[in-house]
Structure 1
């Protein structure tokens, strides 16, 4: 089917390049360690976004080929494009903020410089992902998301090897949740802080309430240091086993948290209790009611 109209990312990149050049020139004239740090951060933003723009344009012209149909514009390449655009838009928003407040007495130079550096690292990692996706696309038949299993010449191993060398900590630190609405980012940050602080006590083999209490005590440094939180989150995602993740997500099943929820949340009245017994169902066929099929009850793996 014909290519649908694509979102033009050129104005987004032009605005980012213009602001990056203006901010870099301003901080270069100011001198000092802080000025050099800002100038380097904006130079990185300009460089990475300049390399990212051609890749986004390339995939924007081709991603519609992998949609299920014209009414369902969705596939992995579209998702990657949207995440990259969101990161560029977030960098543009931060650049505008710096340009508007850089002369203010209350301008937090260290905080804003660290956020710009994190955005530059995120753009670099997204560009690397787009390069990997481009290699996959080159080896895939037309309209197929993945290359054929035969004759791929070690492509899967290459993708896994390249992905293992990427630094994903920037996505879990200051840039956490940039692709979502701003209202959900504090919740994601709270989850990340809780996860990393929980892991410290889990690895000490604390159990029960000791893990939850220790997590609250040790969460302070993680809340104040996004870089440390991002590094730890990346390490956890690569090293800890399934038992850790089950223990973390089962925290809400503990009696203590259930009691807190009962005290703080609105009580919901139960009108009627329905019990579904784990027994198979016999359902007649629509074409021949005399013939039935057996539907087994759902079971967990």
Structure 2
């Protein structure tokens, strides 16, 4: 059955994909003629974005057709598949915006080549991870009963290469590189007004983590983080890599120490 118009009117990714592909073609054509190291980075970044568009299109169309089936009802359009689809569309929209800016300002004397190419590379990395998530979501969808958001007990008991659905998800997630979501792309799926708040929290967390791994605790770690926060504010790639390391390697005591900072006398 065809989805109701209200379920898909805002989920069509085709215009974004067409716009990004056209902008990538135009920018690749321009930077290929320049020949500098910076131009080669731009050409490579736009080539990656163009390839992501080509490979994302089938998966995005697939979920746009199906995601409404998992909503609570027609007036409550929300579920995990829809959220993943919308996140991918937000990332594409940011890539389109940056690509348009590059196309409009690439001949300007004040064009910040290093900053803009780093932004494009970051969104290319984010789209690569979103592609992996969409592939995993397709595998979960294939193993679930029609209309069921989660696999049933029967599907959980089935094994694929010696593991069930839960083990499959954890195994695939452990191979992902999620640092790109905490660097330059941090909070891209949220309103612009909330991004500075998220950046502040992320900088504080990775700064605190660097002091924590030197076996400083409590107020000592909080004080030490004040001296290391600058490098994470200036280097988004370093911040993303450190955030990924913290989330994968540090134990629950670190998270308790960090979130309890607001209750310490230092911030009282």
TM-score, normalised by the number of residues in structure 2: 0.93
Instruction: Tell me the distance in 2 between the aligned counterparts of 1:99 and 1:91.
Output: 12
Once the two structures are superposed, residues 153-204 of structure 1 have per-residue CA deviations (whole angstroms, 9 ceiling, x without a partner) of 2333222211111111100111101001112111111111110010111122
Structure-2 residue corresponding to 1:87: 91
Residue matched to 1:24: 28
- Cα deviation for residue 46 of structure 1 reads 0.5
Corresponding residue pairs, total: 258
Q: Does 1:68 align with 2:72?
A: yes
User: CA separation in 2, counterparts of 1:52 and 1:92?
Assistant: 15
- Work out the CA distance in 1 between the residues paired with 2:96 and 2:158: 39
Structure 2 residue runs of 5 or longer lacking an equivalent are none
2:234 corresponds to which residue? 224
CA displacement 1:257-294 (0-9 Å, x = unmatched): 12xxxxxxxxxxxxxxxxxxxxxxxxxxxxxxxxxxxx
Alpha-carbon distance between aligned partners in 2 of 1:92 and 1:170, rounded to the nearest angstrom: 18
Q: Which residue of 1 aligns with 2:219?
A: 209
- Quick check: which has more Rg, 1 or 2? 1
Pairwise CA distance, 1:2: 6.0
Let me know the Cα RMSD of the aligned residues: 1.3
Residue segments in structure 1 that go unaligned for 5+ positions in a row: 259-301
1:24, 1:92 → 2: CA distance?
14
Cα pair 1:139 1:152 within 8 Å, conserved:
no
State the 4+ residue runs in structure 1 displaced beyond 3 angstroms.
none
Q: TM-score with structure 1 length normalisation?
A: 0.83
Q: Is the 8 A contact 2:210 2:225 kept in 1?
A: yes
Greater helix content: 2
Q: 152, 155, 178: which one pairs with 2:158? A: 152
Equivalent pair of 1:60/1:81 in contact (CA under 8 Å): yes
